Amino acid sequence: MKKLFAGISIIVFTLSFAHIASAETMSQDEQVIHIINRITYGPNAETIDHVKKIGVQNFIEEQLHPENISTPDSLSSKLSNMKTINMPLDTLVAEYGNPLQMARMDKNKDAEKDARKNSNIIVEELSQAKVERGVESNAQLQEVLTDFWFNHFNVFAEKERDRFYVSSYERDAIRPYTMGRFRDLLEATAKHPAMLVYLDNWLNTDPNSRAARGKQNGINENYAREIMELHTMGVDGGYTQTDVTTLAHILTGWGLGKGKTMEEKSVFYFDPKRHDYSDKIFLGHKIRGRGEAEIEEALDILATHPSTAHHISYQLAQNFLADQPPETLVKKMAETFTHSNGDIREVLETMFKSPEFWDKQYFRKKFKPPFRYIVSALRVTNVEADDNLIMLPALKNMGEPLYRNLTPDGFPNTNDHWVNSDALLKRIDVAKRIIKAALNTGKNVSAAELIKVLGGDFSQDTISAINGAGQNLQPVMVLSSPEFLYY
């Protein structure tokens, strides 16, 4: 154990000096590791062999078209055994929401507690499916982007009814649009009950309308503010508080269905009786008061705004390349966004083919957040995902409880949030448990083999730290090294 912590001290020290800026282009071997690190959840022997066989550019093209990529039988089998992830929204609400509603109506605290506990399976299975897909899916870029866009359009699973909606939200409003047109993604998220509940637009009502009553008694700006600040233009995008208020008036009536049952209340519905029909000026555009068409016009304005092109391009470049991506790259991506009418696949292609993306100063530049760390460790060691290891205990302890980020800005994606000694110690603990799980199943995980799969270019300090540990701890040291912690 003393050797382990001696090695840790070396690695902690090394974390601060892992990246020195350069103007070099990556070698071919570095390009293979770099593209696998950035558009997948990390190397494994199979992926390394595949990329070397077909070439980096062909691999990029392959990943940009997930519709042509087959799903492994083992993954399909695991997903098919999960009860809730493919349930339609109305079925989820009927089976898990109605019992909770009835218990509350009956004021039966025990029944309410049981119904709430029973409904936890929705997020638990969705979380497990996320891990399984991250580890096993051949369409890795699709999984990385599903995570990225969910985080971009974040909802909190514990907000009121969202515990019943979140699985459908990812499946129906995020996953189909990850590489499509941004305008379609924007509308899909805007209309989904999960977003309507999370950011309260289902409450947003013209206070002068005859339908203004109860909770729906006035203007609610929450969604109007976040759709501009986070989802489209960005906080420095050039809009004003007046634009936020105007957009909130435009969005009045955009909400949930009426009725007595939870199923009836869990579908998108535009209520014309709660809408503000006055003419409005939004971001310099005159919008004639005419109902739901106003909202569609506002979404068109937001989706095609130059600030949106820049903000989305910056967010993508920050996710896939560096915390502070080069402005030259962001500008090229924004131009593609504008010229392609917000075609996400074309924007990604511009990024992946740019010389900036292959500048060596960005090689292993980003520090892995908890989910990426765990999934990449499972991939490289070929260890089966164990939900007792992966789910609530480890990810919550590491600061990334899946689908449970309270704030609309999602989980942070920059090194300054994740790089600290406490984060390293928690990753070491997870690494020890993964290696122990491998040993318990008779699988020998060799440090030398892990280093080979990860590119083989470990620093001498890291190699010395690994060699200084006991044989069973050496794989743990590999999974705790700067060369693995950074991607």
274 located within any domain: no
Cβ-count burial of 411 within 10 angstroms (0-12 exposed, 13-18 middle, 19+ buried)? buried
Provide DSSP, 459-486. -HHHHHHHHTS-TTTHHHHHHTSHHHHB
Give the separation between CA 361 and CA 359, rounded to whole angstroms.
5
Is 327 in a helix, a strand, or coil?
Answer: helix
3-state secondary structure 94-131: HHHHHHHHHHHHCCCHHHHHHHHHHHCHHHHHHHHHHH
Decide if pLDDT at 6 tops 50. Answer: no
Q: How far apart are CA 383 and CA 44, in angstroms?
A: 11
* Least-confidence region, from 379-388, 433-442, 456-465: 379-388
Asked whether residue 296 is assigned to any structural domain, the reply reads no
Question: Is 412 a domain residue?
Answer: yes
Q: Are 125 and 83 in contact (CB under 8 A)?
A: yes
387 pLDDT above the threshold of 70: no
Evaluate if residue 222 carries a pLDDT over 70: yes
Give the pLDDT confidence score for residue 227 in this predicted structure. Answer: 98
In contact, 250 and 291? CB cutoff 8 Å: no
Domain membership of residue 398 (yes or no) is yes
pLDDT band, very low/low/confident/very high, at 8 (cuts 50, 70, 90): low
Residue 24 — pLDDT band, cuts 50, 70, 90?
Answer: confident
Report if residue 254 sits inside a domain: no
pLDDT for the residue 78:
95
Return the DSSP state at 205. -
pLDDT digits (tens, 9 = 90+) for 426-444: 999 999 999 999 988 888 8
**Residue 469 falls inside a structural domain:** yes
Mean pLDDT for 112-120 is 91
CA angle 313, 197, 398 (to 5 degrees): 60
The one-letter amino acid at 307? S
CA distance 470 to 481: 15
Confidence (pLDDT) at 472: 87
To 10 degrees, what angle do helices 98-105 and 109-119 make? 160
How many domains are there within the chain? 1
Q: What is the pLDDT of residues 267-289, one digit of tens each?
A: 999 999 999 999 999 999 999 99
pLDDT given at position 385: 76
- Is 9's pLDDT higher than 50? no
Residue 425 lies in a domain: yes
Residue with tokens 């070396």: 10
Question: What is the percentage of the chain residues whose pLDDT exceeds 90?
Answer: 86
∠ CA 49-51-54, rounded to 5°: 105
- pLDDT higher than threshold 70 for residue 22: no
Confidence of residue 20 (pLDDT cuts 50, 70, 90): very low
| Mean per-residue pLDDT over the chain, rounded | 93
Q: How confident is the model at residue 390 (pLDDT cuts 50, 70, 90)?
A: low
Quote the percentage of the chain above a pLDDT of 70: 94
Residues 396 and 370: their CA atoms lie apart, in Å, by 9
pLDDT digits (tens, 9 = 90+) for 332-348: 999 999 999 999 999 99
Backbone angles phi, psi at 44, to 5 degrees: -140, 170
Query: What's the domain range around 415?
Result: 2-19+364-485
Specify the pLDDT at position 21. 43
The pLDDT value recorded for residue 23 is 56
Kindly report, residue by residue over 41-100, the tens digit of the pLDDT: 999 999 999 999 999 999 999 999 999 999 999 999 999 999 999 999 999 999 999 998
Distances (CA, A) of 34 to 184, 344, 352, 467, 475: 30, 21, 11, 26, 22
pTM of the shown model = 0.94
| pLDDT given for residue 259 in this prediction | 86
pLDDT band at 166 (very low <50, low <70, confident <90, very high): very high
The answer to whether residue 19 scores a pLDDT higher than 60 is: no
Comparison of pLDDT for 392 and 28, the residue scoring more = 28
Average pLDDT over residues 252-258: 96
According to the model, what pLDDT value does residue 16 have? 41
In a domain, 36, yes or no: no
Q: Nearest CA to 164 among 269, 80, 81, 261?
A: 261
- pLDDT greater than 80 at residue 388: no
Whether residue 487 contacts residue 376, with contact meaning beta carbons closer than 8 Å, is answered with yes
